[in-house]
Amino acid sequence: MNLRPVAFIIVLLLFFSCSKEDISTYQEDLVVRLDEEIETVSHKTNEKSQHVDEAFVHWIVNRQQASGLMESTEISNFTSLYDNALAAIFFIQEDRRENAEKIFDYFYSIRETELPLTGGFYQFRKSDGSDAERIWMGDNAWLLIALNQYATKYGSGKYESLSLQLENWIRSLQMENGALRGGTNSDGTEIPNVTEGMITAFHAVKGYDAFHKNMLDFLKKNRWDEELGLLMAWPENPEYAFALDVLSLSKLIFNDLSDDVLFQANKFLNDQTATMSGEMISGYCFDQDKDVIWLEGSAQMAVAFNSIARFDISENIMENIEKTVIQSSMTDNAQGIPYTANFGTSYGSNELWDHTDITPALSSTLWYYFAKTNFNPFDTGKKDMLPTADKFWEYDF
């Protein structure tokens, strides 16, 4: 039975039964700017649907190649370590153990040749494993998160040695001040201390010891804006001091961080015309230049709002994202979400790749799945009992 028409009628009845004062108050509380029609029916209960259209699942599953790796889009054989780690988490959540193991088996098979040279796995490669480049700590932390979730769900030690190798390497990147080195660029230069990567590694490395404490100490001294109560991405550059994913992921990782962190992400909200559908949509940019709607990041915000039971806001975000859905050109009955709604720049001033807005992207579609199914990929292994003295975000107002 399709409940949407019934729900729509109920919402309309509720709307007309409210006073003008009630409606005004409710609309003032909305943080996602939407068109008038969507605002009219935005009353939501604190219940979250956990249904996702199978066409999205079908598209994700069909990105897996013979090597076990997941291609990031339909029109190239490009793969990323991050996308593969996210896909492994998806497969574990869907209880598709064999698909997850295909990803892990690939990396397990190259650990003895790649890790002794690099410490961590390369960030990018083709789906046959060739042309590997750039060693980025953050993506390796995501792979460790996926491996930890596999071990927890299936009670298996199959990849324990691989997990230990990754954890030891991530620990070895810590500097005297508590920060983590980011890795190595393709040209041999060092990747700086990246806030988003560090908080991901904080979660990925199990337990709580000096490694974690020292990292929190660095973040407090170097990346925390006490006035705003936010972690900064690039404090040396005021124009790009804040990044969307630092706000959403920090709230998902540090669950007792103030909910206000998510509402301060309003600084990234903007309206754009979606390239493929031609519809005007609202969503979040990577940064405050607000030249593009980052759909992966917007879906991350939906997951974060789910985590604080603000399903009204999450649903509004998702309704906008759904205006960008692209049907697969390669697989029947399959669809996905592009990386961005329109073309523009990524975090900072660098342009995005040329098909970012015209083909489904694995990362965006996976985070859309997480939001639709009310799943937080950081729930497993969350550090809920941190020492109060180390939680720099807790202070008296």
Each residue's pLDDT tens digit, 18-69: 444 443 333 344 444 444 333 333 344 445 667 789 999 999 999 999 999 9
pLDDT of residue 47: 58
The domain of 231 spans 224-372
Three-state SS for the chain is CCCHHHHHHHHHHHHHHCCHHHHHHHHHHCCCCCCHHHHHCCCCCCCCCCCCCHHHHHHHHCCECCCCCECCECCCCEEEHHHHHHHHHHHHHCCCHHHHHHHHHHHHHHHHHHHHHHCCCCCEEECCCCCCECEEHHHHHHHHHHHHHHHHHHCCCCCHHHHHHHHHHHHHCECCCCCECCEECCCCCEECCCHHHHHHHHHHCCCCCHHHHHHHHHHHHHCEECCCCEECCCCCCHHHCCCHHHHHHHHHHCCCCCCHHHHHHHHHEEEEECCCCCCEEEEECCCCCCCCCEHHHHHHHHHHHHHCCCHHHHHHHHHHHHHHCEECCCCCCCEECECECCCCECCCCCECCCCCCCCEEHHHHHHHHHHHCCCCCCCCCCCCCCCHHHCCCCCCC
**Is residue 341 very low, low, confident or very high in pLDDT (cuts 50, 70, 90)?**
very high
Whether the pLDDT of residue 160 is over 90: the answer is: yes
Same domain for 216 and 103, yes or no, is: yes
Same domain for 123 and 228, yes or no, is: no
Whether the pLDDT of residue 89 is over 50: the answer is: yes
Same domain for 185 and 140, yes or no, is: yes
**Is residue 14 very low, low, confident or very high in pLDDT (cuts 50, 70, 90)?**
very low
Read off the CATH number of the domain in which 212 is found: 1.50.10.10
Global confidence as pTM = 0.88
Same domain for 272 and 169, yes or no, is: no
Number of folded domains that form the chain = 2
Mean pLDDT of 362-374: 98
Q: For residue range 198-233, what is the model confidence (pLDDT) as tens digits?
A: 999 999 999 999 999 999 999 999 999 999 999 999
**Is residue 384 very low, low, confident or very high in pLDDT (cuts 50, 70, 90)?**
confident
Mean pLDDT of 346-353: 92
Q: For residue range 109-152, what is the model confidence (pLDDT) as tens digits?
A: 999 999 999 999 999 999 999 999 999 999 999 999 999 999 99
Same domain for 367 and 229, yes or no, is: yes
Q: What percentage of the chain reaches a pLDDT higher than 90?
A: 83
Same domain for 232 and 206, yes or no, is: no
